[in-house]
Structure 1
Amino acid sequence: MRGVYNYRWNDVPCNNPCNYICERHKDITVNGSSVQFVYSSKSHTVLDIVYRMCLSAAPYKVEASARMLDESLPHRFNVIPIDIRSYSFIARLERIDLNSGWSTSEINISWIAYFSTPVGIY
């Protein structure tokens, strides 16, 4: 863009050194959840969370949260994705209300997968 062209686009040869502006499309998101029976003798464990849908590519980012299905239990968790794949993601599930483990419990993992380009869902 140049002032002499009223700040409109002005194409120049590719070998001219210039600053540049990149257009980025809005992220495409896919979300889901998975109920798992989980226990740990420590304050954390590692889970393989399957998307339960076929994606044509791996997301570039996954955000996740966890909650006990039995809401009378005081357990609170952080979910930290550590390896993102096209069919699942590996996440560290950390108990944050106490520094201890928990007995076998049903935990709902909710997730949002982010894609920068359209993704096929099969």
Structure 2
Amino acid sequence: MIGRESQQFYSYSTKSSIKTKIGYKMCLSSVPSYIYATVKATESSLPHTFNVTVLDVKESYFEVELKRTDISEGWNMFVTVDWNMYTGDFLVVNNKAIWLPDVFTVSTDLNRENAAIDCNKREGQLVEIADKRSFKLVYNYVRNNFQFEKQEFVDFWLGSSYNILTSQVTQSNGEHGYNEGWHPGGWPKNQLGRTGLIIRVASPDLRRDHGMGNLDPFNLHTVIKLCALEID
């Protein structure tokens, strides 16, 4: 799903911006779904700074526009371009790529820590929900992409936590998280230890029994895997 590459090359421009094509170092079987790139002067003592805009993505290369941002002048030097490429079906929300590592695997018994470790192994983290828009996007992504087969619903862990004393949701970065969309069965539960958060997603054929819930994060819970990765 994710590939990371870096390339150093000589670059010259008489203007403050230039378009250039960058070839991959690996053979791909399909066109990447998304590429995020950065560029810097290879010689770190130089003052040059750049913005990068990805213009087009092909199976063997991608095209970018490099624009100098420290001053409106050209350059004549070596630059280093670093990029992440993403393949497959995923969702971009608030500069994070969100994906299902396996859309076919039945649910697995995991506590929140083990779910987070699994995402870390994939260079990601557990998903956070910041607002109603994010909730709807993530919910619908799982609903439309996971192969439910005979399962009426699936759950997945969030990275956020719930405070049973203040009734507040907090993301792992300390910012407030989404505090609506609760499961209609009397959630959230104000019981000791229920500080972990899940989202239950109903299958496309079912329009009930879904929403957010709070559980003990140290207890095993039957979940699918959903991960997120910063893309900038």
Q: Same fold (TM over 0.5)?
A: yes
Alignment partner for residue 19 of structure 2, among 21, 32, 46? 46
- Identity within the alignment, %: 33
What RMSD in Å do the two structures reach over aligned CA positions?
Answer: 1.3
Matches within 5 A, 1:82-97: 82-97=55-70
Any residues of structure 2 matched to 1:21-60 within 5 Å, and which? 28-60=1-33
Q: 1:107 aligns with which of 69, 79, 87?
A: 79
Higher helix share: 2
- Find out whether 1:98 has 2:45 as its counterpart: no
- The gaps in structure 2 that reach 5 residues or longer are 90-100, 102-232
**Equivalents in 1 of 2:9, 2:51: separation in Å?**
15
Higher RCO (C-alpha under 8 Å, 6+ residues apart):
1
The structure 1 segments of at least 4 consecutive aligned residues displaced by more than 6 Å after TM superposition are none
The number of equivalent residue pairs is: 90
Residues 52-78 of structure 1: per-residue CA shift (max 9 Å, x gap): 110111111100001111111100011
- SS at structure 2 position matched to 1:37: strand
Instruction: Tell me, in whole angstroms, the C-alpha distance in 2 between the residues paired with 1:51 and 1:79.
Output: 17
Structure 1: unaligned runs, 5 residues or longer? 1-27
SS in 2 for 1:106: strand
Q: Deviations over 1:5-30 (max 9, x none)?
A: xxxxxxxxxxxxxxxxxxxxxxx111
How far apart in 2 are the matches of 1:84 and 1:62?
A: 8
**Larger strand proportion of the pair:** 1
Match of 2:42 among 69, 72, 90: 69
